[in-house]
Every structure is written in C-alpha cells, then in structure tokens.
Chain A
C-alpha cells in the first residue's frame, strides 16, 4: 500500500504552539492503527492562528485541519481525516481558505508547501528557473531586469535593488561581496524567518543571481541569534547546495565561483542597519559608519558590497523566472510587485499576507486579520517596526504604498503591522519607543545616546502629570534634535512613534483631543 502523505510544519512559530508534539502523536497513532503514512515537515503557510496546521494529501488536493492539538489526534483518526472528514477542525482544501486564496503569493509561493530541504521539491515547484536564466545573461542584463521589475528594498528603506546592483557591478575591485541582511529585529516582523526556514534554497538562488549580476565570489547571510531554527535550516541548505553544485567553484556548470556562509549576530538591534551589520561581520562593535562611502563602493572589508534584505533577495528568482514585466505589472505607483505583510500583536487571524502593493490597511486588518484577538475595537496599529508611526483608525484607508504612507508620516518598512486594542496607553507606547532607542543606540551620536534617555525621563514626568506643558515642549525639542542630529534612522526615526502617538492620541498625554479629529 502506498503511504499517504501528511504535511505538518516545522517552522519555529508552528513548533512554538506544539507542531512537533502533534507530528509525534500522529505518527504514533498511525502506527497503532497500522496505517501507512508519510509525514513531511514543511515550512508554515503563514496562517499562524491555525498552527499547528495539519494537511492531508488527497488526489484532488490538500485538505487542512487546524489548529490541531495532541488531544485532537485520536478523534481525527476516528472520523477518518485521511479521507477528508467532517471533523470539528476541518478547514477544507487549504488553497481555498479565503486568507490564503485571496493572497498573491510570489515570494512565498513555495513556503509551507514543500519540504524546505528537498532538492526534488524545490525543482518540482519552479526552483532554479531564475538562476538558470540569469546564468546565460550578462551581468548588465541581470541588473537591468531587476531594475525594470521595479523591485525596491524590502528591508525598509525601499531603495531600488537594480540600481544598487548596477553600482556594485560598475565598481572596480578584486573581490565583491553579497551580504544578506537577516537581522529582522523589528517587532511585528517574521517574514524573513519564515522564508529562511520554509524555502531556504530560494534565498540561496537569489544571492547567487546577485553574485552573477555584480561578479561577487563570496556571500554572507547575517542572521540574528534569536533565530536558531533559521540558522540551522540555512546551514543544512547551504551544505546540500554545495553538494549539488549550486554553490562553490564552477557552480551551475559555469566557470564562476560563489561561496556562502552564515554568520550569527549577537543580540543588537542596530546591527540591522547595513553599515553596522558590516562592522559586526568584520568582528567589531556594531557601530554605524557614516555614508559616503556607500557600502556598494566600500562595503565589507572595504570592497564593493551588495547589502540586501532577505525578502529582496528571495524575490529575485521569481522576477528572473517570470520576467520583469510580470512583476512590475503588480502594485501601485512606484511601489511595484508584492509585499509580504505581517499581521501581529492583538489580531484575531495573525500571520503572513503576501499582497500586491495598494491593498489598504483596512483590508489587511479586517478582511484578513478579522479585527482584534480580544474582540475589542482596534485603537491603533504600528506599521514599519519600532521606528514606525502609530496609525489611528481614521487613516486605515491608506493604501500600502511607500509614498502614500510617507504622505501620512508613516512607514511601510518591512511590512510589519502590530495591532493594539482600545486598552492601549499611547503615552506608555511613546515612552517605550524612547526606552528602546536608549537601549539599542550604537552610541555614536549624542542625541541618540543621551537624548533618548532624557526622553524617557521627560515621558515619565508627562505620565506623572508633572509640569505637563513644559515637559511636552521639552519632548518636542528632543524629537526635533533626534530627527536633525542623528547619523542613522535609529535616532532619526524614533520621534515617529512618539510624535504620531502624541498627534493622534493627545488625550493619553493629558491633552484635550481636538474636536474635529474624532476617530471613525
């Protein structure tokens, strides 16, 4: 008898709510009942509120059950879940679940579908089509393709990836580097982690294309130490890729070489800033370098270096495989293609939603997210990580678009969306933003190092109601100083969460709410 395939994620988030235990229980139960099953451990589909999500392979497609606990396993077998049962946890065909069906998955097309470390699965699902095309193109042609796709850096700053690559290509040097920024320190973001665990070959393929495009021979993936699962998966994937001739000397049957290593961070948020990451890779304190020189010209060990986010690099293979036009035709304005948005915090259906740019916050929060987990009204969302603004419901119609968000003094950033219900105290959130800056400042500039600490003290006095107006004026001065006097966005953007909280939620700071600004 042919074994039936059951898919269970081994993604860290799925495991964090019991996926390993569920997989073990299913294996034991199947054995007890003398049923022949094969359990494949995948990445996560990103429907995180349904984790652990168990899928059963049927001739017509995969059917899903979730969230499954160990206690549910006997009843799943009793009701015959291996042939699509009417179980309490049955969700029907996975691909038909609206949360997934209504997405536009390109970067995450394989994540949760395949065994992350299976070469056969990767190839069967379109893997390596991009690099095979790139192999026969000139470096300039690859750069042009990426430029024409409109891909902008998904790590937050939104700088056009193709232009960055062209700069590195044009630089004259003995050695060039590709550095993948996998520091993902922003609260509310987990897309980098998910893709590294769920489809690591895609990142390796993207970095290889980047290497071909600029003539780099060595790459590093700088992963934060908080991601032990991703680190382990990447290391295994690199070893497999080396054995397959996808990395190393003469890779992909060319006469070129590209070597790849994983480096582990050490718990410093600022090491996500690209120059600080390079300092850390060189074995130093992760202090920000002043620009110029750009890393594209003088980066790692002083050599021309591509620094890109995990998602930017993982999106490149599909762009090469399907063509620049295909990608550019998705999106709005100057925000092209898709973005993996991440719904987090107090949200009913938290997870990963890959959509073309232009989707509104409202649709992400309510159609996908289903409102808050607590069932209370949403009061604020923070977009773009800890340095991003707090956005009130009156602005939820804003489309996800770098420029539209900027026009509201907000950030798309890395696509993280953190939801708060009406119990949130926005003065406390403002205080936290300053506290975080003080804690994570690299220490190079005084406004950021000392000013943030003064900011915490000022916020404490405001919260205590101590000479409120005087202290609010002081807070504004400090914010102005941070904005104008900081070398990098750590100090430069910390005023964003603070001032947006003050602007949209003045009553939490003991001020009257202007009557015309009643939230919808």
Chain B
C-alpha cells in the first residue's frame, strides 16, 4: 500500500492527469501520488498547485488537514492499531504498549530497519472482533500479543 518509488515529475504528471477531468480532484490526486511515492513531497505540492491553479499554501493546507497524508515516507509496511472504544474494551491500550515494546518504536514512528511504521487509528470497522489492526490494506481481528508477534514475523520477512 505504501509506495516506494523515487520521485519522478513525469510519472507524477501522468498520475495527476488520470484525475484531471474529475471535479474536486485534489484528494484523488493526493491519494494517487502517495500510493506511488509513499508520501507527499514538496515537489508534489508544487506540481499540484500549478496544475489546479491553487496556491501552494492551499494544497499544503489540505495535505496537513487529513491524517492519511504524510510528508515523509513510511516504512515498508504500515501497522495501524485501532485505539477506539470497542477495541479499548478488549485491551487495545495494552496491545499498543506491547507493539511499541516489540518493535522498539513509538506510535507515529518507523522501526530502525525501515520495516514497519506504527500508527494509531480510530476504528477499522472490525469492532466485533476487537482488538483490530491493519497491516497495509489487510485487516486482522482478535489480535493479542502472540498473534501480533506472529503477524509481524510474517510481514517482516519480505524486504
């Protein structure tokens, strides 16, 4: 899910042009850029501003408003741990503590080997099978410490 490609103005322009005909196209464009390059770099903001005839401040304002968009690249896999109420009721807070210990990283940061970025999320729609986590686009339910370690083991293998 989190792209890894190096910035290319040409590639970016082509991604943007896929959405050029849509009304209110900024979010679809940002999603496409982040999917490809892993984050929204300054160059992307400049390009979007130029294409959509907006100021760079306006584009930056949108990027910073939404939790999904990042300005720096994430690790190879993004682990989102739900910390909303239904997951709290089944021990999400202690799962988060375990995850931080196990990966030696804090929420919102990336492991030193660049394998995982750990993030908090507020509900994944899996509240009857809580605690829930999402690794890239894959949802996992009823996650306890042992299951967390096993999942991390599987994802950690691919480089």
- CB within 8 Å of B: which residues of A? 12-13, 15-17, 48-49, 51, 184-190, 192-193, 225-229, 261, 263-269, 280-287, 301, 342-347, 350-352, 373, 382, 386, 416, 418-421, 424, 429, 432, 436, 439-440
Residues from chain B with Cβ under 8 Å of A187 in the complex: 84-87, 122-123, 127
Q: Closest approach, in angstroms, between the C-beta of B78 and any C-beta of chain A?
A: 12
Q: CB distance B62 to A285 under 8 Å?
A: yes
> Chain B 54-97 against A: per-residue CB contact (8 Å), 1 yes, 0 no?
00000001100111110000000000100011111110000000
CB pair A419 B128 closer than 8 Å:
no
B98 at the interface (CB under 8 A from A): no
Residue of A268, A286, A373, A439 near B90 (CB, 8 A) is: A373
A283 touches B25 (CB 8 A): yes
Among A184, A282, A284, residue most surrounded by chain B Cβ atoms (within 10 Å): A284
10 A-B pairs closest in CB distance: A350-B128, A283-B26, A344-B127, A187-B84, A266-B66, A345-B89, A267-B67, A16-B141, A267-B68, A283-B24
Known: A190-B126, A226-B124, A350-B128. A268 touches B67 (CB 8 A): yes
Per-residue CB proximity of B33-73 to A under 8 Å, as 1/0? 00000000000000000001000000001100111110000
Is B107 part of the contact surface with A, judged by Cβ < 8 Å?
no
- Give a binary string over B107-131; 1 marks a CB under 8 Å from any A CB, 0 the rest: 0000000000000011111111110
Chain B residue, CB-CB nearest to A285: B65
Q: Give chain B's interface residue range (CB within 8 Å of chain A).
A: 35 or more
In the complex, the answer to whether B125 meets A264 with C-beta atoms within 8 Å is: no
Q: Min CB distance, B34 to chain A, in Å?
A: 9
A16 touches B140 (CB 8 A): yes
Taken together as a complex, chains A and B put the C-alpha atoms of A345 and B84 apart, in Å, by: 10
Task: Indicate if B30 sits at the interface (CB-CB under 8 A).
Answer: yes
Tell me whether B128 and A429 are in contact (CB under 8 A): no
Complexed CA–CA distance, A373 and B131 (Å): 12
CA distance A347 to B90 in the complex (A): 9
- B134 CB within 8 Å of chain A: yes
Chain A CB within 8 A of B16 CB: no
Do B139 and A12 have beta carbons less than 8 Å apart?
A: yes
Q: Are B141 and A286 in contact (CB under 8 A)?
A: no
Q: How far is the CB of B123 from chain A (nearest CB, A)?
A: 5
With A185-B122, A283-B27, A346-B90 as given contacts, are A386 and B127 in contact (CB-CB < 8 Å)?
no
- Which residues from chain B contact A346 at a C-beta distance below 8 Å? 89-90
Q: B68 touching A190 by the CB < 8 A rule? A: no
Across the interface, name the chain A residue whose C-beta is closest to B65. Answer: A285
Given contacts A263-B27, A285-B65, A345-B130, contact A12 B125 (CB under 8 A): yes
Give 25 A-B contacts (CB < 8 Å), ordered by A residue: A13-B126, A16-B126, A16-B141, A17-B129, A188-B86, A190-B128, A225-B68, A265-B66, A265-B68, A266-B27, A266-B66, A266-B68, A267-B66, A282-B23, A283-B52, A284-B24, A284-B62, A386-B85, A418-B86, A418-B127, A419-B89, A420-B89, A432-B85, A436-B84, A439-B122
B137 is an interface residue with CB less than 8 A from chain A: yes
Give residues of chain B (122-159) contacting chain A, Cβ–Cβ below 8 Å: 122-130, 132, 134, 137-142
Enumerate chain B residues within 8 angstroms of A432, measured Cβ to Cβ. 85, 88
Q: Give the chain B neighbours of A416 by CB distance below 8 A.
A: 127
Task: Please tell me if B28 contacts chain A, counting CB pairs below 8 Å.
Answer: yes
Q: Does B4 contact A (CB under 8 A)?
A: no
Please report the C-alpha to C-alpha distance between residue A416 and residue B87 in the assembled complex, in whole angstroms. Answer: 13
User: Is the pair A189, B126 in contact by a Cβ cutoff of 8 Å?
Assistant: no
Question: Roughly how many angstroms separate A189 CA and B89 CA in the complex, as a whole number?
Answer: 14
Tell me how far the C-beta of A419 lies from the nearest C-beta in chain B, rounded to whole angstroms: 6
Task: List the B side residues contacting A386 at CB < 8 Å.
Answer: 84-85, 122
Q: Give the nearest-CB partner of A17 in chain B.
A: B141
Chain A: which residue is nearest B93 at the CB level? Answer: A428
Indicate if the CB atoms of A264 and B128 lie closer than 8 Å: no
Nearest chain A CB to B103 CB, angstrom units: 20
B1-34: CB near A (< 8 Å → 1, else 0) gives 1000000000000000000001111111011000
With most chain A CB atoms within 10 A of its CB, the pick from B24, B25, B140 is B24
Look across to chain A and name the residue whose beta carbon is closest to the beta carbon of B19: A283
Per the bound structure, the CA–CA distance linking A193 and B121 in Å amounts to 17
Beyond A265-B66, A350-B127, list 7 extra A-B contacts (CB 8 Å): A15-B138, A48-B128, A188-B85, A190-B127, A301-B23, A386-B122, A429-B85
Complex contacts, B65 vs chain A, CB 8 Å: 268, 285-287
Q: What is the CA–CA distance of A267 and B124 in the complex, to the nearest angstrom?
A: 11
